[in-house]
Chains A and B, each alone.
Chain A
Amino acid sequence: QQQVKQSPQSLIVQKGGISIINCAYENTAFDYFPWYQQFPGKGPALLIAIRPDVSEKKEGRFTISFNKSAKQFSLHIMDSQPGDSATYFCAPSSSNFGNEKLTFGTGTRLTIIP
């Protein structure tokens, strides 16, 4: 019940286009839904996150859409830029006495081409 499926595995988007990455989960105890961004040679860094009391959250060019009934959430990157080229991970977690271990998806390698 801990499985987290992420799609697509890789994505190539033209500069200025919209990048969309999806995450499906099974564990209904998850109550925190972050997206992490990872550049080569670096650790994952939080990009944007949502709690299930809202269905959408926008921060600049990045938007999370959350569908509780479908147990899915997605990352939308508007006006994609070459600097967005990185690997993206969804990593939901559940509040568990404050522990909140992250359960990572398999990752999406995003490449933005000019």
Chain B
Amino acid sequence: EPEVTQTPSHQVTQMGQEVILRCVPISNHLYFYWYRQILGQKVEFLVSFYNNEISEKSEIFDDQFSVERPDGSNFTLKIRSTKLEDSAMYFCASRRSPVTDTQYFGPGTRLTVL
């Protein structure tokens, strides 16, 4: 069964450094998402992406964040200058089309900012 994959599984970085989290969505999916989950808290929406542009972003997704689909398979989340409060589990999700509801989630990347 096709699945969303994410790399790395765990990323440790120093405050102020740039990180890139990578996702490979399911191949025939058209809608892509990033969510995050701070330890012990709920999953929060960050950004949605369709047709090579951001379709919606949350208040969390400020100028330090960017997303890109650099080729036909990868979907990346970049945090330009990490802060301690960016420490969280980051989940990528994808959805096939407007008429299908299910979002399929990857296993997540645990980001630790020191």
Contact = CB atoms under 8 A, between A and B. Distances in A.
B56 A49 contact: no
Interface majority SS on A: helix, strand, loop or mixed? loop
A101 B43 contact: no
B103 interface: yes
* Chain B interface residue number, banded: 20 to 34
A60 interface: no
* Chain A interface residue number, banded: 20 to 34
Contacts of A106: 41-42
Interface majority SS on B: helix, strand, loop or mixed? strand
Nearest to B30: A98
Contact of A44 (B41, B43, B95): B43
A44 B107 CA distance: 8
B102 A46 contact: yes
A104 B56 contact: no
Interface string B9-48: 0000000000000000000000101010000011111001
Given A98-B98, A99-B31, A104 B42 contact: yes
Interface stretch (A62-70, A75-83, A89-97): A89-97
4 residue pairs, one from A and one from B, having the closest CB atoms = A43-B105, A98-B98, A104-B43, A101-B45
Interface of B: 4, 31, 33, 35, 41-45, 48, 50, 55-56, 91, 93, 95, 97-98, 101-108
9 contacts: A34-B102, A41-B107, A49-B102, A91-B43, A100-B95, A102-B33, A104-B44, A104-B45, A106-B41
